[in-house]
Structure 1
Amino acid sequence: MDITQDTNTVYLFLFGVSILASFIDSIAGGGGLLTTPSMLLVGINPLTVLGTNKFQSSFSTFTSSRNYYVNGYLTDINKNKYFILSFIGSSAGTLMVSRLSDDILRTLIPILLISVAIFFVLNRQVKTDLSNYIVLLTPLIFLIGFYDGFFGPGTGSFFVMLFLVFKNQTLLESTATSKLLNFASNFAAFIIFAVQGYVIWELGLIMAVGGISGAYLGSKSAIKVGDKLIRPILVVVSILLSLRILTS
């Protein structure tokens, strides 16, 4: 770890970021677009950023999925199968990214962040019905899980779109399913990063507390609060942070 600022100040800053990111993620997805560049900006090396972020994200996605389950929105009968697919895909992605050097990741991560942010700008309400192509769902779940293990931001939104267009679920049902699969991919990646020593446990626990709080409030507010205002703010902040990383 190479934190360039006062540790207490950094931890307080990232605690606040984790609350906001998890709140947004529970409603609109994309919370990693805030946590990842924020952790890079304070001087944490890329693999430790990914590992610590997966640790704290496991708590927030579990909290969100539990809330949706308790409220009756986690209804997909194949959810256990999808959970396993996401877990395996993420494991493969994590093993691949952990082989890359810090120098490559310091350039690659901001570029990926900006790319995902642009996707958020271009993406609109999904109306396409691909239920006749349901056979594609299994490999796509694996691939999105792989992406989450390799990088991550935007995974929740990709899962939501998947279940909207392939299974015609409601938005809340799709969000509920996506949070369960996102928990699977986060937890798988966390285990591998932890074994390899890429987790700052103290920071991860602090951010987990913030993440649980934000996820609880966000999932409770999902019915009442749309993402029309949140998404543009998320995209702008993410792009600015990513550009700052590339130029620093």
Structure 2
Amino acid sequence: MIDFAWLGAAAFTAGLVDAVVGGGGLIQIPAIFSVLPKEVPATLLGTNKFASIFGTSAAAVNYARRVRVAWSTAAPAAMAAFILSFAGAWTVTRVPADFVRTLLPIILVAVAVYTFKKKDLGAVHAPVHSGLAERYWAIGIGAAIGFYDGFFGPGTGSFLIFLFVRFFGFDFLSASAAAKIVNVACNFSALLWFGYSGHLLWQLGLMMAVCQVAGSLVGTRLALKHGSGFVRKLFLVVVSGLILKTAYDAFTKIGW
């Protein structure tokens, strides 16, 4: 009973963080692996995706109601992400992801340093693309992030927010809103694979999904209330956590 309460609390916190800046998997995945150490990893990852898609969907709906979502960017990015996420999940069963594990902390450090140095980054919503250029950029970024999410995954939401801010000129709040749309597509695509292969703990997933939605509602309200400055600060905190976690995973994996 205590274990399930712990998973519920972890899912709530993950939903809250994910709704604002992404990176909820940093909380939820270690929690579910620690509580069920003997379960098949694919089943735990499938259960994680099942719970996460509810929280991300709730956040997407809330943002769409309160923030003007850039659908001309989010929609093509989401479609590309849906297709490539499935391709990434298929690829990871055939190609080791160790090189990504080693490279990821370096990329995250670059993202954190760039965001920290550019104090005005994401402060103002000033889109820089329109028409075909916007669609092509959106498809390219959606495809790359979708494949990464299916192939490896950590920090997908945070990467999306950074890319929408850096390459589309979005403020952090609008970037977070658009990122949720793409995240839903990634999660749904991966969930199709896990569901088809039977890697889901439905009852546990439903309990965690309820907690995810509750956390997501709180996180969305915090983001909408405090704006892009709050999102930027939490983004840097989460990326710092991702750097520590992915660096630990990478260096322990290769025996450092």
The 3 A distance-change label for structure 1 pair 226 and 178 is: closer
Task: Please tell me whether residue 161 in structure 1 is matched to residue 162 in structure 2.
Answer: yes
Percent identity, aligned pairs only?
Answer: 31
- Give the aligned partner of residue 232 of structure 1: 237
Q: CA RMSD in A?
A: 3.3
Q: Is the 8 A contact 1:47 1:98 kept in 2?
A: no
Q: Which amino acid in structure 2 is aligned with residue 85 of structure 1?
A: A
Q: What pairs with 1:128-207 in structure 2 (closer than 5 Å)?
A: 131=129, 135-207=136-208
Q: Is the 8 A contact 2:104 2:246 kept in 1?
A: no
Task: Please tell me whether residue 39 in structure 1 is matched to residue 32 in structure 2.
Answer: yes
Q: CA deviation at 1:96?
A: 2.3
- Give the aligned partner of residue 4 of structure 1: none
The 3 A distance-change label for structure 1 pair 142 and 185 is: same
Q: CA deviation at 1:216?
A: 0.8
Q: What pairs with 1:44-59 in structure 2 (closer than 5 Å)?
A: 44-59=39-54
Q: Which amino acid in structure 2 is aligned with residue 216 of structure 1?
A: L
Q: CA deviation at 1:230?
A: 7.2
Q: Which amino acid in structure 1 is aligned with residue 89 of structure 2?
A: T
Distance 1:141 1:230 in 2: 20
Deviations along 1:183-214, one digit per CA (max 9) or x if unpaired, are 11001101111111111111111111111011
Q: Which amino acid in structure 2 is aligned with residue 202 of structure 1?
A: Q
Q: Is the 8 A contact 1:90 1:147 kept in 2?
A: yes
Compute the TM-score of the two structures, normalised by the length of structure 1.
0.79
- Give the aligned partner of residue 82 of structure 2: 87
- Give the aligned partner of residue 12 of structure 2: 19
Q: Which amino acid in structure 2 is aligned with residue 182 of structure 1?
A: N
Distance 1:108 1:10 in 2: 34
Deviations along 1:3-47, one digit per CA (max 9) or x if unpaired, are xxxxx3322211110111111121222111111222222314321
User: SS state of the match for residue 83, structure 1?
Assistant: helix
Distance 1:210 1:113 in 2: 29
Distance 1:46 1:116 in 2: 26
Distance 2:163 2:246 in 1: 28
Point out the more displaced range, 71-80 or 170-179: 71-80
Distance 2:239 2:166 in 1: 24
Distance 1:194 1:208 in 2: 16
Distance 2:72 2:242 in 1: 37
Q: Which amino acid in structure 2 is aligned with residue 198 of structure 1?
A: H
Q: CA deviation at 1:235?
A: 4.2
The runs of 5 or more residues in structure 2 that have no matched partner are: none
Q: How many residues align?
A: 236
Compute the TM-score of the two structures, normalised by the length of structure 2.
0.77
Distance 2:25 2:178 in 1: 18
Q: Is the 8 A contact 1:37 1:110 kept in 2?
A: no
Q: Which amino acid in structure 2 is aligned with residue 124 of structure 1?
A: T
The 3 A distance-change label for structure 1 pair 211 and 184 is: same
Q: CA deviation at 1:65?
A: 0.6
Structure with a larger share of its residues in helix: 2
